Amino acid sequence: MRVFGLQIAIWAVLSFQVSLEAQVWVPSGTETRRPSALQFDTGASSFKGDYYGYISPNFTYNHGSNFGYSFSLPVNTLLVDRDPLIEGAKAGKIREMDYNSKNDYARVLNYVSYGTYNQQNPGQVTYSFYAGKVIDGYIGHGTIVNKYQSSSRFDSYNPSIMADLNSDYGGVQYFSNSVMNFDVNAARVYIKPLAIGRKIYSFFDKSGSNVSYMMNIRGNVLDDAGRLTVEEEVGGDKNKSVSKKKEIRPINKDSRMELVDNDPWYNRLTLGYTTAWDKAAPLELYYNSNGSPVTVTNKDNPTTKEITRVSIEGFDLEYRLLNLPFLELTPYVDINRIKGLDQSQGTHYGTIFRLGTKDLNIILKPEFRRMSTNYAPMYFDSFYEIERFQNFPVSAPMRTKYEQLQGQAKGTVTGYYHTVYINFYHLGFEFAVEDYGGKNNNRIFAAAYIPLGSSFLLSFYYTKKGYDGSGKAFQVDENAQGAAEISKSFGPLVLRVQNYRRYFLNPSEKVFQSTDELRFLVSGGISF
């Protein structure tokens, strides 16, 4: 492979003293906000053998620690056109695929964010909203919507939405793949029946003297968004008039470490219901006589001959058996089904296990699955922006994901999806593997966030699905995508090298193809 370093799609980041910052692998909704600044990226890029000039001014502003927004205007202009020549292209022309549909103009939105998604604080009602670039869109335990990618294509950009509301008695989560079209949506409602029952009982028990707070293990854990401790937020620490400023760092979606403080037994049982749907999923495509897909006017999507509504629903249950400052254990079970497909059902048995403290821990999430052959776990995943039209593994002619499931012979499949997280202060690593045996039933995900010293940081993610055997996991081909950046500060400027591996529709080849875009950039700016 030419530019995809280490055969892993890596995008890493380096921050400078003016706090220029960007990250490619940070859980969405808990994304590390850029500091308030007027910034720029400028340089050159290589894409499909051609060379482009690149510039992207950026404006970011944060209103306190909860609310912030960031906008950019990325522009690629042609510098050198190599064979095969682009029809009608000339030097200085903006790359056509970047702004040839109304959705593409949403590229200006990096994010608008309030609060922290999936942040639960006992005794408080918390809520959040995030609209923008999503790398890890998810709902609940991630068995239906997980690691959703809003930017998995070069020729189409869909900033997504994640929002939630949480309380001691229940809450709701919402996800949408696009602020423009709202094609894919998911909502989860959950309740805490023991907490509700205890509250109802308290209305009839006037004595209040026999209330027992079993297993109420207290701690002093700062929340990852850089807010006060729980005790400080409720006014328990009167001696600290000014909160100590914390660096905003991502939290782990699969650990409830922030609940160590004031986490009674009746608050730990959660029952949830999720419904997710693609309101206009392609079922059948139009093809030319040579077998290539007919494309719509803007050439970004194939033309659909028939669409359908794909709906998935599921029930989940979890109970947090242990929640100590150094140990957490939460078993769960999810039972999901795809509506409209005969006996399409999957059961997920998992456990979230954390060992360690806030800054130094390892989190294991083994999940075993038993499902019918016409069921797809994590139906809406990192590849779904492509799989709406082309199921993985890549093949020609294109077949949509739902069409492929309809044609599956009846049967039962067992397998697993195991995840491990390692958090070492400011360093973070994540690795996941999925396997069901048989042909083309493997998936892998790898990511890291690695600051080295005060002026160097490496961040990357890589994912691949639809391959056979572990030996092919890191063979970068049409079934892989990811991103990477590495950079170094020199005085007031930051030199950056980026690489993206994403997809674009190639009608002549009759498939979506993945390819690399390599950028060499200089970044600078002023903070305020």
Bridge-based pairing of strands 269-285 and 184-191 is: antiparallel
- Buried b / exposed e over 272-289, threshold 16 CB at 10 Å, is bebbbbbeebbbebebee
Judge whether 212 lies within some domain.
no
Query: Of 295, 293, 227, which is closest to residue 67 (Cα–Cα)?
Result: 227
Q: What is the pLDDT of residue 279?
A: 95
Q: What is the pLDDT of residue 219?
A: 29
**Among all chains, which residue has been given the structure tokens 């599921």?**
314
Judge whether 444 lies within some domain.
yes
Q: What is the pLDDT of residue 298?
A: 62
pLDDT band for position 88 (cuts 50, 70, 90):
confident
Q: What is the mean pLDDT of residues 125-151?
A: 92
What angle is formed at CA 35 by the lines to CA 167 and CA 429, rounded to 5 degrees? Answer: 70
Mean pLDDT of the chain: 82
pLDDT exceeds cutoff 70 at 128: yes
Judge whether 455 lies within some domain.
yes
- Buried b / exposed e over 124-138, threshold 16 CB at 10 Å, is eebbbbbbbbbbbbb
pLDDT exceeds cutoff 80 at 1: no
Side-chain-side CA neighbours of residue 514 (13 Å)? 27
pLDDT band for position 215 (cuts 50, 70, 90):
very low
pLDDT band for position 119 (cuts 50, 70, 90):
confident
Find the helix or strand (DSSP H, E) in which 204 lies: helix 193-204
pLDDT band for position 409 (cuts 50, 70, 90):
confident
Rounded to whole angstroms, how far apart are CA atoms 496 and 489? 9
Contact between 502 and 512 under an 8 Å Cβ cutoff? The reply is no
Contact between 198 and 269 under an 8 Å Cβ cutoff? The reply is no
Length of the chain: 528
Which residues are paired to 131 by β-bridges?
Answer: 112, 161
pLDDT exceeds cutoff 70 at 102: yes
Q: What is the pLDDT of residue 245?
A: 38
Tell me the backbone φ, ψ of residue 59, rounded to 5 degrees: -125, 125
Query: Of 468, 457, 523, which is closest to residue 495 (Cα–Cα)?
Result: 523
Q: What is the mean pLDDT of residues 140-163?
A: 92
Judge whether 340 lies within some domain.
yes
Bridge-based pairing of strands 75-80 and 50-63 is: antiparallel
Q: What is the mean pLDDT of residues 28-34?
A: 47
User: What's at 183, amino acid-wise?
Assistant: D
Q: How many CB atoms lie within 10 A of CB 119?
A: 22
Domain hosting 469: range is 1-202+255-527
List pLDDT tens digits, range 259-275.
766 788 899 999 999 99
Contact between 316 and 336 under an 8 Å Cβ cutoff? The reply is no
Rounded to whole angstroms, how far apart are CA atoms 431 and 203? 47
pLDDT exceeds cutoff 70 at 281: yes
Bridge-based pairing of strands 109-114 and 126-132 is: antiparallel
Q: What is the mean pLDDT of residues 375-391?
A: 93
pLDDT exceeds cutoff 60 at 107: yes
Q: What is the mean pLDDT of residues 59-64?
A: 90
Q: What is the token pair recorded at 202?
A: 């308290």
pLDDT exceeds cutoff 70 at 161: yes
Considering only CA atoms, give the Rg of the chain.
24
- Buried b / exposed e over 2-34, threshold 16 CB at 10 Å, is eebbeebbbbbbbbbebebbbbbbbbbbbbbbb
Find the helix or strand (DSSP H, E) in which 232 lies: helix 230-233
Q: What is the pLDDT of residue 224?
A: 28
**13-17, 36-40, 252-256, 357-361, range with greatest mean pLDDT:** 36-40
pLDDT exceeds cutoff 50 at 177: yes
Distances (CA, A) of 63 to 34, 72, 232, 233, 246: 12, 18, 21, 19, 16
Q: What is the pLDDT of residue 516?
A: 94
Which residues are paired to 164 by β-bridges?
Answer: 128, 173
pLDDT exceeds cutoff 70 at 440: yes
CB-neighbour burial class of residue 422 (10 A; exposed 0-12, middle 13-18, buried 19+)? middle
Judge whether 240 lies within some domain.
no
With residues binned 3-state (H G I as helix, E B as strand, rest as coil), the percentages for the chain, rounded to 5, are 10, 45, 45
403 vs 189 pLDDT, higher one:
189
Instruction: Tell me which of 172-181, 444-453, 516-525 is least confident.
Output: 444-453
Rounded to whole angstroms, how far apart are CA atoms 22 and 13? 6
CB-neighbour burial class of residue 96 (10 A; exposed 0-12, middle 13-18, buried 19+)? middle
363 vs 212 pLDDT, higher one:
363
Q: What is the token pair recorded at 92?
A: 């200085």
Judge whether 438 lies within some domain.
yes
Per DSSP, the three-state class of 501 is strand
300 vs 217 pLDDT, higher one:
300
What angle is formed at CA 346 by the lines to CA 385 and CA 366, rounded to 5 degrees? Answer: 85
Q: What is the mean pLDDT of residues 286-306?
A: 78
Instruction: Tell me which of 92-106, 201-215, 397-411 is least confident.
Output: 201-215
Q: What is the pLDDT of residue 297?
A: 64
pLDDT exceeds cutoff 70 at 497: yes
How many domains does the structure of the chain reveal? 1
197: left (phi over 0), alpha (psi -120 to 50) or beta: alpha
Judge whether 231 lies within some domain.
no
Q: What is the pLDDT of residue 299?
A: 64
pLDDT exceeds cutoff 60 at 237: no
- All residues at 6 or more sequence positions from 32 whose CB lies less than 8 Å from its CB, including other chains: 21, 23, 26, 248, 249, 250
Q: What is the pLDDT of residue 229?
A: 32
Rounded to whole angstroms, how far apart are CA atoms 421 and 360? 11
- All residues at 6 or more sequence positions from 212 whose CB lies less than 8 Å from its CB, including other chains: none
115 vs 25 pLDDT, higher one:
115
pLDDT exceeds cutoff 50 at 221: no
Judge whether 216 lies within some domain.
no
Helices (H) and strands (E) in the chain, counts: 4, 23
